Amino acid sequence: MPTEPLRCAGALIVHDDGRLFFQRRSPERRLFPNAWDVVGGHLEPGEEIEDALSREVAEETGWSLSHVLGRIGEFRWTGDDGVPRIETDFLVRVDGDLSRPRLEAGKHTKFRWLAERDLAVLDENRNAGDGQIRRIAEDAFAALRSIGL
């Protein structure tokens, strides 16, 4: 068990029309199986957070990170595996065909672009009272409004 929390980077990808990108984790995933999630993952040893963000976007969607619009927040959480994590989430833009992400095989099964009014879907297959992904999404939409997007 690590003594320091694992660092994670999360990307809330913004579509030109203001919706945000989410992907469904495969049912075989150890953490949050079959639940909706943001793009992202753990930093590799020695990796800077923006490098991890760029790598995760490419691995999980096939798109390339074009720029970071802003930081949404930093969240501490512990998964069912007992490992503490510190996750930093960002609003980002990407380059690529937004209608055709290349989901990472074995890790994600579906994707959706959600408007703020559609966020209830993020509660599907989550533990009662979890709501972390929905809160992150709400914070992302608030950040979008604050920067005038």
Q: What is the pLDDT along the chain (149 residues), one digit of tens a residue?
A: 556 899 999 999 999 999 999 999 999 998 888 999 999 999 999 999 999 999 999 999 999 999 999 999 999 988 778 889 999 999 999 999 999 999 999 999 999 999 999 999 998 877 755 788 999 999 999 999 998 87
Q: Is 133 a domain residue?
A: yes
Give the CATH number of the domain where residue 106 resides: 3.90.79.10
Question: Where do we find the tokens 């579906």?
Answer: 110
Which tokens belong to 140? 């992302």
Q: How far apart are CA 145 and CA 143, in angstroms?
A: 5
Q: Which residues contact 72 (CB under 8 A, 6 or more apart)?
A: 10, 12, 89, 90, 91, 136, 139, 140, 143
Query: Residue 23 forms beta bridges with which residues?
Result: 37, 111
- Give the pairing type, strands 39-42 and 64-78: unpaired
Q: Is 36 a domain residue?
A: yes
Amino acid, single-letter form, for residue 127 = N
Q: Is 58 a domain residue?
A: yes
Q: How many independent structural domains does the chain possess?
A: 1
Q: Is 1 a domain residue?
A: no
Instruction: State which residues form the domain around 19.
Output: 6-146
Q: Is 81 a domain residue?
A: yes
Which tokens belong to 133? 């992904």
Q: How many CA atoms lie within 13 A of 48 on its CB side?
A: 3
pLDDT digits (tens, 9 = 90+) for 34-66: 999 999 999 999 999 999 999 999 999 999 999
The string of DSSP codes covering 61-80 is HS-EEEEEEEEEEEEEEE-T
Q: How far apart are CA 116 and CA 7, in angstroms?
A: 27
